[in-house]
């Protein structure tokens, strides 16, 4: 039985399930209906789902909450939702649409006070800090802007605030099917061994997931490898 938490991903543009390459909206591939995908994940035995509103990330406010609601209404999946959560109204909309957790990245950079307020209000169990990394620095607003903040000091600040869950995406790996940034995740875990780190980006095969598990990474998000037929979900969940 695997120890690493397996979290399939659904990214949404215009109400459809898509995948980008390295966060580039011009490199978009459409894979179908998000609800159909979510129902299939649940049928196979998965319990968690990572949903990203890419329209929201680009627009800086939630756009696809109705897609989220359709998934949380029709399934019992534990869904974490991110993309475009910038205001009190956005985070309330996400929770009201059925998200169990939200992933927040840009606000933690641009408005730490607001992020801390949400952490206090909703609790660490419902807040995932999004740390999207390019060249060792945090990127924000749909990966379009370099914040200039280095990853480890950024994490330290929020772990001291009480953050216990971090979704870390290596942007240069995301959607490339070239393998995950395992050394980066190992460095994070060596520095913060009690952190519930969710690795994201580059997973291309079951062996990549095995590699992350051997490295002691608690959880992994993967998407494109599913949609491109690189990972057999039915087999993976039974191993």
Active site residue 11: yes
**137-140 and 127-134 strand pairing:** antiparallel
Active site residue 132: yes
Active-site option among 11, 53, 174, 208: 11
Active-site option among 53, 90, 132, 208: 132
Positions annotated as catalytic residues are 11, 132
């Amino acid at each position: 039985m695997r120890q690493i938490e397996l979290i399939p991903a659904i990214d949404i543009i215009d109400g459809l399930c898509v995948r980008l390459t390295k966060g580039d909206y011009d490199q978009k591939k459409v894979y179908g209906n998000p609800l159909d995908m979510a129902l299939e994940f649940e049928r196979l035995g998965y319990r968690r789902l990572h949903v990203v509103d890419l329209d929201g990330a680009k627009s800086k406010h939630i756009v696809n909450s109705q897609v989220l609601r359709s998934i949380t209404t029709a399934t019992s999946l534990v869904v974490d939702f991110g993309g475009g959560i910038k205001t009190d109204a956005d985070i309330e909309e996400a929770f009201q649409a059925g998200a169990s957790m939200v992933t927040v990245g840009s606000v933690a950079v641009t408005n730490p006070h607001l992020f801390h307020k949400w952490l206090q209000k909703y609790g660490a169990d419902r807040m995932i800090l999004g740390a999207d990394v390019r060249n060792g620095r945090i990127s924000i607003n749909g990966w379009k802007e370099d914040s200039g903040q280095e990853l480890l000091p950024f994490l330290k600040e929020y772990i001291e605030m009480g953050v216990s869950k971090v979704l870390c995406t290596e942007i240069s790996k995301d959607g490339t099917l070239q393998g995950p940034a395992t050394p980066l995740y190992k460095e994070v875990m060596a520095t913060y061994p009690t952190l519930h780190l969710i690795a994201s980006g580059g997973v291309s095969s079951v062996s990549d997931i095995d590699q992350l598990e051997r490295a002691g990474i608690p959880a992994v998000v993967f998407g494109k490898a599913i949609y491109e037929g690189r990972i057999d979900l039915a087999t993976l969940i039974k191993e």
